[in-house]
Amino acid sequence: MDRQEDVIAVPRPALRHLPQPPPAPYVDRTPPEARANRRRLRACHECDWLMALPPLHSGEQAVCPRCGHAEVSRHRYPAQRSLALAISALASLAIATAFPFLAFSVRGVGNRIDLTQTATDLIGHHAPLVAIVVLLTILVLPALYLLAVVWLQLGLLGGRPLPASRSAARALAHLQPWMMADVFLIGTLVSLIKIAGLAQIELGPAFWAFGAFAVLLLATTQSVDRDWLWFALEGEPPAPEGSQTGRPAAPQGLTGCHTCGLVGRLDEHGHGRCQRCGEPLLARRPHSLQRTWALLAAAAVLYVPANVYPIMTTVSLGRASPNTIVGGIVELIEMGSWPVALVILVASVIVPIGKLLAMTWLCLVAPRAHALRAPVRTRLYRITEFIGRWSMVDIFVVAILVALIRAGNLMAVEPGPAAVAFGSVVVLTMLAAMTFDPRLIWDGPSFTADEEAPHERHAP
């Protein structure tokens, strides 16, 4: 049963002879631990372990005692921190789109581009799908994410959430995996190194602004405390009656919401709806293994043309030189750019193949997983999910070079058919990792719901 915990307030002596600082916003003075007189339960999204969140201070994390997954990270002044970072990131993005991004010249002929041309110029080269992906991942989705953060924090600091705040908070979790400004920045650096010996390069104000934007966007995503945010928006409904910590949630008919974290009760069919954010609740992702297998199979099929066909074609003095992914790596090695060649080799060859093999192995062992090996397999899943997006480096390199290298018959770059295939491989493998339910690793036949529970803990 859910036990009650008393919160004792100790009054501080009044210091009337000293000037009192202005009171902090209500949302910061009373963190979730101070406003809840009951245990706040969470079910780990990676191993399904039901636990009670401990009291947290700034800079601390609540970590799953079973698999080590970080459930909650607490920050000091979360609203002000996220708001300041988001506004700074939006300002940097505005500068990055308003000024020239890159320029090049060779033999007196040159070209200057802005940031949006890296996507729009692909449409003129019959690659609209690649253009849409580039535009969404580096501009549209990050801007929507930052605007949602600003909207949410302004409402909370004002004492009353603004309209549609719950929908905006739900959108944050769905947008974050698809924002790739940091990957695009690495792709820009790789592009500059590839053409540095062929032409004179000029970095525009937008290049430095976009670098600041990528860093600020990453800092903003790290500053958002989902647990604090949802508690400030909607409070914390009581935990389901009869829930027992130190056991898996599914055998108790419970599950944790992947959007807000609240533990909810499932019906007899294993379905439900979160009381706090309204997201559907499921004991396990439906047909997780079948969908993951289908996505992996499609990615494996597309990986063949992605490496056989050229990913881009360089036209110099009327002579076309198609380059495959591997051919581009060899060319970089011959130019002496070993570090860049290594980056492309890892991002475009090792990571996609490694992710396909790792996800295939996890799908094979999940139905017959052993509880003692589950932590290792869970860590492999985390690594696989994290590194998948970095394979987009090659796609961004193509987008930048196509837009930048336009000097008539002297020199030009055109996207090859492998660009669409390789971009599809990256997206499909990311979807495969999202579709795979890591809790299946812990649901093997040797696992029992009544196994001894480890001690719950929180770590800095």
For 287-444, CATH number out of 1.10.1740, 1.20.140, 1.10.760, 1.10.3470 equals 1.20.140
Shortest CA distance to 52 belongs to which of 326, 267, 61, 43?
43
What are 388-401's pLDDT values in tens digits? 888 898 899 889 98
**Local structure of residue 20 (DSSP, 8 states):** P
For every residue of 361-425, DSSP letters joined together read HHHHHGGG--TTTHHHHHHHHHHHHHHGGGGGHHHHHHHHHHHH-B-TTSEEEEE-THHHHHHHH
Q: How far apart are CA 47 and CA 379, in angstroms?
A: 11
Extents of the domains making up the chain: 287-444
Q: For residue 363, name the pLDDT band (cuts at 50, 70, 90).
A: very high
Distance of CA 288 to the CA centre of its chain: 20
pTM: 0.85
Shortest CA distance to 94 belongs to which of 143, 151, 135?
143
Q: How far apart are CA 382 and CA 388, in angstroms?
A: 10
What are 312-338's pLDDT values in tens digits? 887 776 677 788 888 888 877 877 777
Q: What pLDDT shows up at residue 206? A: 95
Residue 347: pLDDT over 90: no
What are 203-220's pLDDT values in tens digits? 999 999 999 999 999 999
